């Protein structure tokens, strides 16, 4: 097992990783920006070092400073968390070249899965269903138009080297293709430094279902069942739950087997997630693979009893998975809501500021992942997340009721957040049925933003 791990991240995920390391007897080195000098992760880690200024490019994306800090403190490995450098194959390669272990998949696999066209080809080879579309990068508007005419409308243009809903446009009609291509490509170039696009058939009103994977270095791969992430705003997840009420046992088994098959085919290692779209006829299609720990990993931890972050550390240190697929059971139902510092009434504008008073819920089967405290500041430089609040119960209705009660107990003063909106979603009739799709917010925003 590692002696010392550098955590190349901030906020609640840095705190989460520190907790797992402590339980395994691993020392931690926290990095921070000048804006995060009093952040919780810097206080909980064994050591903390400033790696640059407040902007991400100056600190949390500053590869040379991060590597220098990790080497100075004689770290055995670096955990990237999620976001920032977590899916940067070049960073992973440099970590290994410096004699440390990157806690994640190989750089080669990250590169393949980070290229949407290569990822789709790998899925075809693995026998995983994919949405019809371009075989590779679309060179220009003319080629995009030719492909769209061939596969039929609606289509969706997507950034080939990014995610998170940026560099993405839905096109319903032929005369919209050229403008949509230019807008999406420019957005992708601005966000990811690369404007390459690909195009595929748009699946209308799908379910967004992802399968959590764990894979060791010896070819063993398991899934920890699915998470339903269909409650979204602008392709950003708001609520996640497991299991999905939309899947029956046969479809759950088929999708899980497809996810495991895909991971084995590409030689995947560590934690990862295969994301699928599921249409109204319950046909599923590969969407993308996240080659990192997911924000919503806690949902899968609650329903299986498996600590995913601990398993990441064990796998990266060379240990084999301690369980087989048939030993992993669904223990109940878990739901997570993301509480963000944003104003739903002002088109979800960020609401940075200082938290004057904070009280998080507690009690049996309630979990809060956060790095906030009284007097903590939500910085305009980074993600606006305040907390992830989760609830677990033996039934879906029980989990919903427990999470409602938890949100009623939560008090956040000093800035605006989406707490009330999340509470109303948990009461909405369509959410209660469990058959909601990715269009939920587009259809019902006026009912949950009051």
Largest CA distance in the chain: 60
Residues of the chain within CATH 3.30.470.20 domain(s) are: 207-448
| Cβ contact 199:155 at 8 Å | yes
Q: Which of 4, 292, 367, 396 is catalytic?
A: 292
Topology of domain 207-448 in CATH is: D-amino Acid Aminotransferase; Chain A, domain 1 (3.30.470)
Q: In the annotation, is 292 catalytic? A: yes
Judged by DSSP in three states, 362 sits in coil
Residues of the chain within CATH 3.30.1490.20 domain(s) are: 132-201
CATH code: domain 4-103 is 3.40.50.20
Torsion of CA 301, 306, 312, 318, to 10 degrees: -170
Residues of the chain within CATH 3.40.50.20 domain(s) are: 4-103
CATH code: domain 132-201 is 3.30.1490.20
Whole-angstrom CA distances from 80 to 69, 88, 111, 188 are 14, 9, 16, 23
Q: What crossing angle do the helices spanning 177-192 and 141-151 adopt, rounded to 10°? A: 120
Could you tell me the two tokens for 314?
Answer: 């064990």
This prediction has a pTM of 0.92
Q: What are phi and psi of 361, to 5 degrees?
A: -70, 160
Mean pLDDT by runs of 10 across the 450 residues of the chain is 98 99 99 98 99 98 99 99 97 98 98 90 96 87 92 91 79 93 90 87 95 98 99 94 98 99 99 97 96 98 99 99 98 99 96 98 98 97 97 99 99 98 99 97 97
| Cβ contact 35:107 at 8 Å | no
286/283 Cα distance (integer angstroms): 11
Question: If you search the block for the tokens 């609401």, which residue do you land on?
Answer: 351
pLDDT reported for residue 164: 64
What would the DSSP string read from start to end of 408-448?
Answer: HH-EEESS--SHHHHHHHTT-HHHHHT---TTHHHHHHHHH
């Amino acid at each position: 097992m590692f002696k010392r791990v550098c955590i190349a991240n901030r906020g609640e995920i840095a705190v989460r990783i520190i907790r797992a390391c402590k339980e395994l007897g691993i020392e931690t080195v926290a990095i921070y920006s000048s804006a995060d000098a009093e952040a919780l992760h810097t206080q909980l880690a064994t050591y903390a070092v400033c790696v640059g200024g407040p902007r991400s490019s100056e600190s949390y994306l500053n590869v040379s400073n991060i590597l220098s800090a990790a080497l100075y403190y004689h770290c055995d490995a670096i955990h990237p968390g999620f976001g920032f450098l977590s899916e940067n194959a070049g960073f992973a390669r440099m970590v290994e070249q410096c004699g440390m272990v990157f806690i994640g998949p190989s750089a080669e696999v990250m590169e393949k899965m980070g290229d949407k066209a290569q990822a789709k080809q790998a899925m075809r080879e693995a026998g995983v269903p994919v949405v019809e579309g371009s075989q590779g990068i679309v060179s220009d508007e003319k080629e995009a138009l030719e492909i769209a005419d061939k596969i039929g409308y609606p289509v969706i243009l997507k950034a080939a080297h990014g995610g998170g809903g940026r560099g993405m446009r839905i096109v319903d009609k032929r005369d919209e293709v050229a403008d949509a291509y230019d807008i999406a490509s420019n957005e992708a170039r601005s966000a990811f430094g690369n404007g390459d696009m690909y195009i595929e058939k748009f699946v209308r009103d799908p379910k967004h279902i992802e399968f959590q994977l764990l894979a060791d270095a010896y070819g063993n791969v398991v899934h920890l069942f699915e998470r339903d992430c269909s409650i979204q705003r602008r392709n950003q997840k708001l609520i996640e739950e497991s299991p999905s009420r939309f899947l029956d046992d046969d479809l759950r088994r088929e999708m899980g087997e497809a996810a495991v098959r895909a991971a084995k085919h590409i030689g995947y290692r560590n934690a990862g997630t295969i994301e699928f779209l599921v249409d109204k006829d319950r046909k599923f299609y590969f969407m993308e693979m996240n080659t990192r720990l997911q924000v919503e990993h806690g949902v899968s931890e609650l329903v299986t009893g498996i600590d995913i972050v601990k398993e990441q550390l064990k796998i990266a240190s060379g240990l084999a998975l301690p369980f087989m697929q048939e030993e992993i059971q669904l223990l109940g139902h878990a739901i997570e809501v993301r509480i963000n510092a944003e104003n739903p009434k002002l088109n979800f504008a960020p609401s940075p500021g200082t938290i004057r008073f904070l009280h998080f819920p507690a009690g049996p089967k309630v979990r809060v992942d956060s790095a906030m405290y009284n007097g903590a500041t939500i910085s305009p430089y980074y993600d606006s997340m305040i907390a992830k609040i989760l609830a677990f119960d033996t039934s879906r209705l029980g989990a919903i009721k427990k999470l409602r009660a938890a949100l009623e107990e939560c008090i956040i003063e000093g800035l605006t957040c989406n707490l009330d909106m999340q509470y109303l979603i948990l009461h909405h009739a369509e959410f209660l049925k469990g058959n909601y799709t990715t269009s939920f917010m587009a259809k019902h925003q006026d009912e949950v933003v009051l």
